[in-house]
């Protein structure tokens, strides 16, 4: 990191950026109220830091130990005394702005009628953003792969339904991307692009999605540590896209014997990640639980831990769902979850204000 003097001119900042580029690296310039901080993106072993300390306008240059430099609170705090949480606009919805945001909809879009019926229900229940799976990553080749698996025409039709449903009920929309070949198509229709847990490690995919400069919902892999998760997030921020919403969706169960849930929700990750980065973090209780009777409890726990919102799978009749019916709740149950979570949020806010 290179910290500029408070009185550094624009020309001096530009000169430092040019020097960084000479070494084949990129510069992330953060202009704060008190000073300008320049982060280096690339192989830092090529950089002689002593060279930068003598450039006009430079106050100091040093290494930041954490591997996720650009999204760290340490980096954000260098530009001034106040470390702000990033608020991300998804359509007209603010994620990370103080009030919990709820994303809801079917695990998979099965038909236009099904999608519109669920969209109407989740909107009435209080959801802010509509989700709907078009391309479904499935463990079994014999499972329903989503309408996108039928070819580009089927994918466009389903994405068109999702866009239309969002516009009809006044909600931004999100769907999961499964491969690089879908980036342009999905970006054309949605307000928020979801990168699922299975693709957390796909560096080519996440950088290509980031270059679209659209908000991204980025899920932690069920076997990834927190440092690893944030380090891969850095790839997207290095593409000059800081509109990343992190998502905890459960890790692999530990120990032997019977597992009582699909995954283990790592609630601890929520406050830890909030302390490490300024990016907002949501929770997906549906995939963590794998069973609908746990959604209410896990949702409340997540909001109490500091999550900025939830993404929940909803179906008007989960038994009829073609995908993951066992973990989907009804719109009426979603309304109960949202009411309870808002009360939890108010209780947490009251305690913080009191302290």
Q: Going edge to edge, which strands form the sheet with 2-4?
A: 26-31, 36-41, 2-4, 58-61
- Average pLDDT estimate for 78-107: 86
CA distance 236 to 220: 14
CA distance 148 to 133: 9
- Average pLDDT estimate for 295-307: 98
Concatenate the DSSP letters of all residues of 293-310 into one string. Answer: GGHHHHHHHHHHHT-SEE
Rounded to a whole number of angstroms, the distance between the first and last alpha carbons of the chain is 34
pLDDT at residue 315 is higher than 90: yes
Percent of the chain with pLDDT over 70: 93
CA distance 18 to 139: 48
Give the pLDDT of residue 181.
92
Give the pLDDT of residue 141.
55
Give the pLDDT of residue 142.
39
pLDDT at residue 23 is higher than 90: no
CATH of domain 2-63: 3.30.70.1140
pLDDT at residue 209 is higher than 80: yes
Per-residue pLDDT band for 64 (boundaries 50, 70, 90) equals confident
Domain ranges of the chain: 2-63, 88-354
CA distance 39 to 34: 16
pLDDT tens digits for range 107-129: 999 999 999 999 999 999 999 99
Cβ(133)–Cβ(314) below 8 Å: no
Q: Looking at domain 88-354, which of 3.40.50.720, 3.10.450.30, 3.20.20.70, 3.40.50.300 is its CATH number?
A: 3.20.20.70
DSSP state at residue 55: S
pLDDT tens digits for range 74-83: 777 665 544 5
- Average pLDDT estimate for 311-334: 95
Task: Specify the range with the lowest mean pLDDT, choosing from 33-37, 114-118, 322-326.
Answer: 33-37
- Give me 21's structure tokens: 């580029």
pLDDT tens digits for range 128-172: 999 999 986 655 553 556 676 667 788 899 999 999 999 999 999
Cβ(280)–Cβ(273) below 8 Å: no
- Long-range pairs for 339-347 at CB < 8 Å and ≥24 separation? 339/126, 340/296, 340/299, 340/300, 341/100, 341/102, 341/299, 341/300, 341/303, 341/310, 342/100, 344/300, 344/303, 344/304, 345/99, 345/100, 345/303, 347/304
pLDDT tens digits for range 261-274: 999 999 999 999 99
- Mean pLDDT score across all residues of the chain: 91
Is 190 or 70 the better-scoring residue by pLDDT? 190
């Amino acid at each position: 990191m290179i910290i500029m003097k408070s009185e550094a001119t624009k020309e001096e900042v530009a000169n430092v950026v040019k020097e960084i580029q000479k070494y084949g690296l990129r510069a992330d310039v953060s202009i704060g109220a008190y000073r300008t901080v320049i982060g280096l993106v690339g192989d830092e072993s090529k950089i002689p830091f002593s060279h930068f300390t003598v450039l006009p306008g430079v106050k100091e240059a040093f290494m930041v130990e954490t591997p996720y430099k650009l999204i760290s609170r340490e980096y954000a705090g260098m530009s001034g005394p106040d470390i702000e949480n990033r608020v991300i606009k998804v359509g007209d919805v603010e994620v990370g702005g103080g009030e919990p945001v709820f994303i809801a909809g079917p695990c998979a879009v099965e038909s236009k009628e099904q999608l519109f019926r669920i969209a109407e229900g989740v909107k009435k229940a209080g959801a802010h953003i509509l989700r709907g799976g078009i391309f479904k990553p499935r463990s079994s080749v014999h499972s329903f792969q989503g309408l996108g698996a039928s070819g580009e025409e089927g994918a466009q039709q389903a994405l068109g339904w999702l866009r239309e449903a969002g516009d009809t009920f006044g909600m931004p929309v999100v769907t999961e991307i499964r491969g690089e070949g879908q980036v342009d198509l999905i970006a054309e229709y949605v307000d928020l692009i979801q990168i699922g847990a299975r693709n957390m490690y796909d560096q080519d995919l996440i950088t290509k999605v980031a270059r679209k400069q659209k908000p991204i919902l980025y899920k932690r892999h069920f076997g990834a540590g927190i440092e690893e998760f944030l380090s891969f997030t850095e790839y997207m921020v290095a593409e000059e896209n800081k509109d990343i919403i992190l998502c905890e969706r459960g890790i692999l169960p530990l120990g032997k014997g019977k597992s009582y849930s699909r995954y283990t929700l790592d609630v601890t990750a929520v406050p830890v990640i909030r302390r490490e980065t300024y990016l907002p973090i949501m929770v997906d209780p549906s995939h963590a639980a794998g069973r609908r009777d746990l959604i209410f409890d896990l949702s409340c726990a997540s909001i109490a831990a500091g999550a900025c919102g939830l993404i929940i799978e909803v179906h008007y009749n989960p038994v009829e769902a073609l995908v993951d019916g066992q973990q989907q709740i009804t719109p009426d149950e979603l309304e109960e979850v949202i009411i309870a979570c808002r009360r939890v949020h108010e209780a947490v806010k009251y305690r913080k204000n009191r302290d």
